[in-house]
Amino acid sequence: MLFETKRLIIRNWQDTDKPHFAQMGQDPEVMKYLGGLRDTAACDQAAEDQMALYAKDEPAFWAAELRSSGEFMGFIGVRAINFDAPFAAPKPGYEIGWRLARHFWGQGYATEGAKAALAFAFANWDMDQIWSFTVPENRASQKVMQKIGMCKVVEGDFAHPSLDKDDPLSLHVLYRAERYK
């Protein structure tokens, strides 16, 4: 376990999380702003990639578990940005992100976990700023970004380099959190 909040446990992934994560990857609402559905193999690989980062004590998107029941909820965490972006220089730049199963939405879990993950990352790694980004239509994620103290970067909108420029999900808005010194 990395840390706990009032309602969450943030920890490394377990093999038992993978089927639940794969279900999330097949949920059209969960994946609506994330480039489409993912098959089980892609979801398993994503979990394995985060487990490998954790094993090296590097920032990762960690598994989130509901304290009261032990139920896998999805992920919350900070990791190195995996594409070239001017805002992420000098490399590596870091992003905070979250993805929760739909039945956990609207209850403040993402905000609670992301706020704690941001504090954990700034306290444990040499990061002066952490970024977050999403498509403009994803107002729920932008609301979380604002609630955890991130500021929208004026004129920070960008075309995500992993997507075709004509893809309706290409345009992203950018938020930043800075370490308090």
Establish if 84 belongs to a structural domain: yes
Establish if 119 belongs to a structural domain: yes
Establish if 105 belongs to a structural domain: yes
Helix (H, G, I), strand (E, B) or coil at 72: strand
Establish if 138 belongs to a structural domain: no
C-alpha closest to that of 130 among 169, 167, 171, 77: 77
Establish if 147 belongs to a structural domain: no
* Domain housing 87: 3-127
The amino acid present at 81, given as its one-letter code, is I
Per the CB < 8 A criterion, the answer to whether 2 and 52 are in contact is no
Q: Terminus-to-terminus CA distance in the chain, angstroms?
A: 27
What is the per-residue pLDDT for 56?
94
What DSSP string describes 91-137?
Answer: SPPEEEEEEE-GGGTTSSHHHHHHHHHHHHHHHHS--SEEEEEE-TT
Establish if 93 belongs to a structural domain: yes
> How many domains, in total, are found in the chain?
1
pLDDT in tens, the chain (181 residues): 789 999 999 999 999 999 999 999 999 999 999 999 999 999 999 999 999 999 999 999 999 999 999 999 999 999 999 888 888 877 789 999 999 999 999 999 999 999 999 999 999 998 999 999 999 999 999 999 999 999 999 999 999 998 998 999 999 999 999 987 5
What is the per-residue pLDDT for 2?
86
Per the CB < 8 A criterion, the answer to whether 161 and 84 are in contact is yes
C-alpha closest to that of 38 among 47, 151, 91, 150: 47
Question: Where does the chain show beta strands of DSSP type E?
Answer: 3-4, 8-11, 61-66, 72-80, 94-100, 129-134, 151-152, 158-159, 171-178
The CATH number of the domain holding residue 65 is 3.40.630.30
pTM of this structure: 0.95
Establish if 45 belongs to a structural domain: yes
Helix (H, G, I), strand (E, B) or coil at 139: helix
What is the per-residue pLDDT for 181?
55
Establish if 18 belongs to a structural domain: yes
What is the per-residue pLDDT for 142?
98
Q: Which residues contact 17 (CB under 8 A, 6 or more apart)?
A: 47, 63, 72
**Tens of pLDDT along 118-149?**
999 999 998 999 999 999 999 999 999 999 99
